[in-house]
Amino acid sequence: MKKNKLQFLYILYFLFLPLSAYSETFDEWKINFAKYASAQGISNETLSLIIKNLKFLPKVIEYDRYQPEFYEDTSTYISKRANNKKVNIGLITYKKNTNLINEVEKNFEVEKELLLSLMGIETNFGKYLGKMDILSSLATLSYDKRRSEFFTKELIIALQLIDDKKIKADELYGSWAGAFGNFQFMPSTILNNAIDYNNDSQINLKSTDDSFASAANYLSNMGWNNKGKCFSKVELNKDIPVKFLNYSARKIKFKKKLSFYKKYIKNYTKELGNDNEIVAIITPDKEIVENSNLLSPAYLIYNNYEIILNWNRSLRFALAVCTLKDKFNNEL
């Protein structure tokens, strides 16, 4: 598959960016970060325990610059993550935990199919939780310049959680991006949404009970509608103005009533939804595939799709999650 040349050069530039290009060394950054963290209320006890052990991890920078979302076309991305093999493993997970998952579904009004889909795509049902030192990963990405503000905030929250005895520093191993547990929660997600569902006085996001309930709680808090649609694949007329097409996940624009888009959709049917339903259109391959057809593939997206985007800001991730959810719908 051909890659967009400018994007490829962008990846190469940052991937091989020398450490000398940073304004301070990582050791200098640690000193300055410790001062900042202390001003944010992090205890000296936690700082003395953590800061000295933080390491710069070059591999994290490599992973950050070469994410599948940057180079895999939509069809490839979805087929790798929403396939029959994944469904079969998910069904085994469901059979082992049927009572718990059904109870969580009922209590939080979040479908079991969605929970299984997210767990399957995030960690292959708990089989791939990640082995990276989360605190060092967050420190590396905070020190890095691409999304420093975001990861600095996440690192501060992680230290707060350690301070409050909600998580243990020596158990924080997970993804290169700092995510943890069966559903890959970032520290801010743990703080705001993780719950002790089995009432054992600790939140264990590697356990089935707490992780499923915390994921359902997170989706519920974001406004998931268990009666709503996620997306519909559509064929677009050539006369649709390009400005109406979203190909970036940063912010979905031109959200309008479905009736507005009727005339631009070749395969329009009433099954796409109520005329007053607010929707948008995405064409996710535009920036990924060189010389791709701007109008295909195209998807009509609904509010639930944006809920998944809030979970992970990737157009393809959200499509894969909802596709796998539909496959589970056919089996459960």
From the list 108, 252, 242, the residue with the least C-alpha distance to 100 is 108
pLDDT at 11: 44
Ramachandran quadrant class, 291 (left: phi over 0; alpha: psi -120 to 50; beta: rest): left
Q: What is the CA radius of gyration of the chain?
A: 21
Give the number of other Cβ atoms within 10 Å of residue 14's Cβ: 17
pLDDT for 159-192, tens place per residue? 999 999 999 999 999 999 999 999 999 999 999 9
Residue 245: exposure state from Cβ atoms within 10 A (0-12, 13-18, ≥19): buried
Give the number of other Cβ atoms within 10 Å of residue 178's Cβ: 28
pLDDT at 65: 85
pLDDT for 46-65, tens place per residue? 999 999 999 999 999 999 88
Confidence tier at 202 by pLDDT (50, 70, 90): confident
Would you list the DSSP string of 218-247?
Answer: HHHHHT--TTS--EEEE-B-TTS-GGGEE-
Cβ pair 104, 213 in contact under 8 A:
yes
Cβ pair 189, 217 in contact under 8 A:
no
Q: Which range is most confident: 11-25, 242-256, 280-294?
A: 242-256
**Weakest-pLDDT range from 37-41, 62-66, 170-174, 228-232:** 62-66
* Amino acid in position 103: E
Name, in order, each residue with C-beta under 8 angstroms of 109's C-beta and a sequence gap of 6 or more.
220, 224, 226
71/238: higher pLDDT: 238
Distance CA 330, CA 248 (A): 30
Q: Evaluate if residue 10 carries a pLDDT over 60.
A: no
**Weakest-pLDDT range from 18-27, 81-90, 178-187, 191-200:** 18-27
* Amino acid in position 258: L
Question: What are the structural domain ranges in the chain?
Answer: 231-301
pLDDT at 69: 65
Cβ pair 77, 69 in contact under 8 A:
yes
Q: Which residues pair with 185 in a beta bridge?
A: 180
